[in-house]
C-alpha cells in the first residue's frame, strides 16, 4: 500500500490515540529504516528504546525463525525452558532472585505495584498500601500505572483514579520525608526519567530514597523499562548510583521488538506471590523468551557495554558543541544512548525538519529533543545525524 492508502484506511479504522507522522515504516536494518515510499532514515528513536540492538539484527532474526519452527506458545501451566533460561540470565546479572514475565512495561509496573502491596499486607498489615512516585515520572497507561505517573496530563479524563498514590519533587529530600511513612508500601522511581525529559536522578537522592524506604519498611522499585538493558552504558541504570532496589521492572529492549516485560525481585519479596495471585496469558512464552535470551547474551558479551559508554560520550560531546554553537541554554542530559537536549518551543520544528532530511528523533515535553539510537550505532552514523541536526538548527533556531 502507498502512504495515501495507509493514511486513509488508518484514519477510518484505527483508533486515534497517537499523533502520528505521515509516514509508514516498512523495513529496517541496523540503524536504518525505510518507509513505504522508499525513503531512507537514520533511526534515533528505535521504537522508543526498543530495538536497542538495531533493526533485523541477524542473531535475533535467526532466533525468531528457529523458535517459530519449534513452538511459539504454551500456557504457563507448563514449564517453558526459554523462560527458565532467561530468568537465570536476568538474576545472574542483577540483584534479583526471581522473575515474573509479562508483555509490556506498563504490565511490569502494574505487577510491581501489586507485588509491593501484597508484600506489605503480609508483613505489616492492611493499612500499608501507599505508593510514592516522582513528579514528572512516567510508569504506564493502565489505571494504576497512569496514577503512579506523576504527570496530570496522562490522568485527565480517567477519574476516579485508584487511591493510595502520592508524588514528590525529584531531588527534594524534605518532600520525600514528608510523603513516606509507616503506611507506605513502596517508592517507585525511574533512575533516568524518559518521558519526563531525560532527567537522571542524582546519586545522593537515590541514597536518601533507599534510606527512607528502609526506615519505614517500604520497598524500593526501580522502573528501568526505558533506561535499563544497556541504554545508559551499564546493564541497568541504577548501577551508576550503587543503590540496589527490592523490585525492578524491564521491558522494551529485552525483546528488541517482540513484546516482553519482566518484574525482578529479591526472594523475600517474590515469595509474596503464590499461585493464583498474578498471571499473564502470553507472558514469557517460548518465542519472546528465546529472543530475550539472545538479547541478554549479546548485551553481556565482552566489551559491548564499554563500547556503548564510549560512543555515548562521543555523542554527548557532539550534541553539547552543537547546542553551544546555536546558543542553546541547557546542557545535554542523560548518559550512554539515552540523551536529551533542552531547547525551546522550536524543538518540534527541528524534529519535523530532521525527518524530511532522513533522521528520526523525537521531543518530550515539547521542548527537549530526545535521542535513543540503537546501542549498535556507529560513530560515522552519529556523525551523519549531527550533520542533519546542524542543518536543522541553522534553519529552525
CATH of the domain at 193: 3.40.640.10
The C-alpha atoms of residue 19 and residue 35 are separated, in whole angstroms, by 17
Do 128 and 210 have their domain in common? Answer: yes
Average pLDDT over residues 355-377: 96
Do 308 and 326 have their domain in common? Answer: yes
Residue 329 is part of which domain span? 3-57+302-396
- Which of 275, 299, 323 lies at the terminal end of a domain, its last residue? 299
Do 161 and 287 have their domain in common? Answer: yes
Q: Could you tell me the sign of the dihedral formed by the alpha carbons of 319, 321, 327, 332, in that order?
A: positive
Burial tier of 47 (Cβ tally within 10 Å: 0-12, 13-18, 19+): middle
The C-alpha atoms of residue 381 and residue 177 are separated, in whole angstroms, by 45
Contact call for residues 168 and 204 (beta carbons, < 8 A): no
Do 313 and 336 have their domain in common? Answer: yes
Give the DSSP letter of residue 361. -
Burial tier of 92 (Cβ tally within 10 Å: 0-12, 13-18, 19+): exposed
Do 50 and 144 have their domain in common? Answer: no
Between strands 184-189 and 192-193, the pairing is: unpaired
Average pLDDT over residues 287-296: 98
Angle between the 304-325 and 379-396 helix axes, to the nearest 10 degrees?
20
pLDDT tens sequence across 147-179: 999 999 999 999 999 999 999 999 999 999 999
Do 69 and 206 have their domain in common? Answer: yes
Contact call for residues 146 and 165 (beta carbons, < 8 A): no
DSSP SS3 for 337: coil
Do 345 and 232 have their domain in common? Answer: no
Q: What percent of the chain has pLDDT over 70?
A: 100
Do 277 and 365 have their domain in common? Answer: no
pLDDT of residue 386: 98
- Which of 284, 299, 314 lies at the terminal end of a domain, its last residue? 299
For the chain, how many structural domains are there in total?
Answer: 2
Do 212 and 279 have their domain in common? Answer: yes
Contact call for residues 80 and 74 (beta carbons, < 8 A): yes
pLDDT tens sequence across 232-282: 999 999 999 999 999 999 999 999 999 999 999 999 999 999 999 999 999
Do 237 and 311 have their domain in common? Answer: no
pLDDT of residue 357: 97
pLDDT class of 367 with cuts at 50, 70, 90: very high
Do 70 and 118 have their domain in common? Answer: yes
- Which of 276, 299, 322 lies at the terminal end of a domain, its last residue? 299
C-alpha cell at 92: 545472574
pLDDT of residue 262: 99
Average pLDDT over residues 32-57: 98
Do 318 and 392 have their domain in common? Answer: yes
The C-alpha atoms of residue 311 and residue 31 are separated, in whole angstroms, by 14
Average pLDDT over residues 326-353: 94
Average pLDDT over residues 80-103: 98
Give the burial string for 352-391 (b: 16+ CB within 10 Å, else e): ebbbeeebbbbbbeebbbbbbbbbbbeeebbebbbebbee
C-alpha cell at 192: 533516568
In this model, does residue 344 exceed pLDDT 90? no
Q: Is the peptide bond before 160 cis (omega within 30 degrees of 0)?
A: yes
Amino acid at each position: 500500500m502507498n502512504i495515501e492508502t495507509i493514511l486513509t484506511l488508518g484514519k477510518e479504522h484505527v483508533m486515534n490515540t497517537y499523533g502520528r507522522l505521515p509516514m509508514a515504516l516498512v523495513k529496517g536494518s541496523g540503524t536504518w529504516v525505510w518507509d513505504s515510499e522508499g525513503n531512507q532514515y537514520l533511526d534515533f528513536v528505535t521504537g522508543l528504546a526498543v530495538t536497542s540492538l538495531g533493526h533485523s539484527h541477524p542473531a535475533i532474526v535467526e532466533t525468531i525463525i528457529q523458535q517459530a519452527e519449534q513452538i511459539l506458545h504454551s500456557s504457563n501451566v507448563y514449564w517453558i525452558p526459554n523462560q527458565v533460561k532467561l530468568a537465570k540470565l536476568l538474576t545472574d546479572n542483577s540483584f534479583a532472585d526471581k522473575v515474573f514475565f509479562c508483555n509490556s512495561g506498563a504490565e511490569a509496573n502494574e505487577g510491581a505495584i501489586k507485588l509491593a502491596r501484597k508484600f506489605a499486607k503480609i508483613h505489616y498489615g492492611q493499612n500499608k498500601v501507599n505508593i510514592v512516585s516522582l513528579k514528572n515520572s512516567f510508569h504506564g497507561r493502565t489505571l494504576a500505572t497512569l496514577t503512579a505517573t506523576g504527570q496530570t496530563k496522562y490522568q485527565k479524563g480517567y477519574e476516579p483514579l485508584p487511591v493510595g498514590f502520592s508524588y514528590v519533587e525529584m531531588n527534594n529530600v524534605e518532600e520525600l520525608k514528608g510523603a513516606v511513612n509507616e503506611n507506605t508500601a513502596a517508592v517507585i522511581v525511574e533512575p533516568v526519567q524518559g518521558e519526563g525529559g531525560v532527567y537522571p536522578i542524582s546519586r545522593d537522592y537515590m541514597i536518601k530514597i533507599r534510606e527512607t524506604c528502609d526506615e519505614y519498611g517500604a520497598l524500593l522499585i526501580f522502573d528501568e523499562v526505558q533506561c535499563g538493558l544497556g541504554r545508559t552504558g551499564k546493564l541497568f541504570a541504577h548501577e551508576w548510583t550503587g543503590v540496589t532496589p527490592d523490585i525492578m521492572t524491564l521491558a522494551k529492549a529485552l525483546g528488541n521488538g517482540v513484546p516482553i516485560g519482566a518484574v525482578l525481585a529479591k526472594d523475600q519479596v517474590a515469595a509474596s506471590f503464590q499461585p493464583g495471585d498474578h498471571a499473564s496469558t502470553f507472558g514469557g512464552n517460548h518465542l519472546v523468551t528465546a529472543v530475550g535470551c539472545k538479547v541478554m547474551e549479546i548485551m553481556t558479551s565482552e566489551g559491548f557495554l564499554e563500547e556503548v559508554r564510549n560512543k555515548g560520550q562521543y555523542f554527548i560531546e557532539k550534541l553539547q558543541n552543537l547546542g553551544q554553537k546555536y546558543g542553546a541554554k541547557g546542557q545535554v542530559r542523560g548518559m550512554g544512548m539515552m540523551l536529551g537536549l533542552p531547547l525551546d518551543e522550536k524543538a518540534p520544528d527541528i524534529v519535523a525538519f530532521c525527518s524530511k532530511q532522513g533522521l528520526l528523533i523525537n521531543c518530550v515535553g515539547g521542548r527537549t529533543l530526545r535521542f535513543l539510537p540503537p546501542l549498535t550505532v556507529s560513530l560515522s552514523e552519529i556523525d551523519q545525524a549531527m550533520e542533519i541536526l546542524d542543518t536543522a538548527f541553522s534553519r529552525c533556531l
